[in-house]
Structure 1
């Protein structure tokens, strides 16, 4: 049961993140920002850092690439940018909310595969498959074989995501495949690493922004709401808090006591950019 709830909660979180980011901070993207030296890590500068992230990805796309499969395309903002630059872009998006937005943004020239990457069915081939912070959600034991089957000869696999390098605290930062396992899978695959760039330092400030927003905005709002409800309906409020006391305690441990800062990110994760090329086994 817990496993089935996890994707749903993630989808809801992405939807809330998109609505809040777009509505309050004019953010077009759902991915991390790339924080260059001199740019203050704060929520008001996040759109600049996200643009830097997009510029970085674009600057590393090989010149011969003409068609791209964007896996986990978010709200489609980066896919639209690729299409504007002349790439033929299709998208993979398993969430209903994002599917509608992507179809509106991309129009009829883009095919949106409304499924998980592992379930994609098509005879199409691409010059590049792109995973921008979506790779961590794909089955590591299957992703390489599926990607190889969808790529043209000499096609590219672009991965920009974080991986685990150390066991995290119980309430620390989650997510990411184990880096050593990923490297082992890649070494035994039909892909050759062309580029491997460590972006951990440049992406860690995103965690500080989220941590500050949680402690300085979300939690005070929740406390104010609690006081309001206690003043209006103390009995019902106490009953609800008692019923969900374990979940409330877990939330407090996770967001107040958990190790979720940029420093913790650097200690337990490695954020990497990989560009890999499909090679002929006989060659």
Structure 2
């Protein structure tokens, strides 16, 4: 195995964050909330700011010690710090951890998975902003229960799969993701929590899928146009480029990428069918 294997995920994150920063002036990785906004790239920053405003409306009162689990590039933590909260971030990616340290100055950054996080808190709030789906249900809420101070709460903003979703083998790749919503509902009381506030914002965030797919289709058109031109006029260059791409991406990843670039199945309507996007605040049962 090569010691200096190229980290394509880090490269992809770097490029993606650079593009988002160029487009919006920030490095938000989350959905936008599009109520009252035309779904255009020019409104993405406003939609993402609307999302943050809605999410922060579910914060408990007072100055909080917050554990931001899966903190992305640190933009949410930066805003929480500006509101006067103390923030610690858990993020498993070395690249994103570096971005968090740069963006959310004043936050404590833990470069680890939540499952391996060794901190003890106690925290007033465990926050999952589009990160809850990546942690097994058997570990996420029970660990939060151990980390929270008396009266502490959990705030989750994420996608959950509906009963209509029966897996990739049945439906093919579909937008969204997350735990089955029925399984989540069952896990809440099992971990000793109860829902104290909840809002379904599926319809408001779903247009993010259409905007994302339109962007990919524009990129896909450019890729196909250049490929066809090279194949017809510079076949040797086309061959060399294909070989180079093959060094970085497996056949399966190339196929998945082309589906994203050229496909039309990822739509806001498909997102609504197979997902519920919830903002949910939990407190200990009986508190």
Call closer, same or farther: CA 1:278–1:11 in 2, change over 3 Å.
farther
Q: 2:267 aligns with which of 254, 257, 261?
A: 261
Aligned partner of 1:275 in structure 2 is 281
Aligned partner of 2:205 in structure 1 is 203
Residue 100 (structure 2) pairs with residue 106 (structure 1): no
Shift of 1:198: 0.4
Contact 1:71 1:117 in 2 (8 A): yes
Residue 151 (structure 2) pairs with residue 150 (structure 1): no
Residue 37 (structure 2) pairs with residue 35 (structure 1): no
Q: TM-score when scaled to structure 2?
A: 0.86
Q: Distance in 2 between matches of 1:25 and 1:175?
A: 25
3-state SS, counterpart of residue 127 of structure 1: strand
3-state SS, counterpart of residue 119 of structure 1: coil
Aligned partner of 2:4 in structure 1 is none
Contact 1:17 1:30 in 2 (8 A): no
Contact 1:125 1:152 in 2 (8 A): yes
Contact 2:63 2:84 in 1 (8 A): no
Call closer, same or farther: CA 1:158–1:246 in 2, change over 3 Å.
closer
Larger mean Cα displacement after TM superposition, 58-67 or 85-94: 58-67
Q: TM-score when scaled to structure 1?
A: 0.87
Aligned partner of 1:63 in structure 2 is 61
Aligned alpha-carbon RMSD (Å): 2.5
Shift of 1:64: 3.9
Q: 1:182 aligns with which of 142, 161, 184?
A: 184
Aligned residue pairs: how many?
Answer: 272
Q: Distance in 2 between matches of 1:11 and 1:137?
A: 18
Aligned partner of 1:120 in structure 2 is 117
3-state SS, counterpart of residue 115 of structure 2: helix
Unaligned segments of structure 1, at least 5 residues = 1-7
Call closer, same or farther: CA 1:174–1:58 in 2, change over 3 Å.
closer
3-state SS, counterpart of residue 194 of structure 2: strand
Unaligned segments of structure 2, at least 5 residues = 1-6
Call closer, same or farther: CA 1:247–1:128 in 2, change over 3 Å.
closer
Call closer, same or farther: CA 1:223–1:71 in 2, change over 3 Å.
same
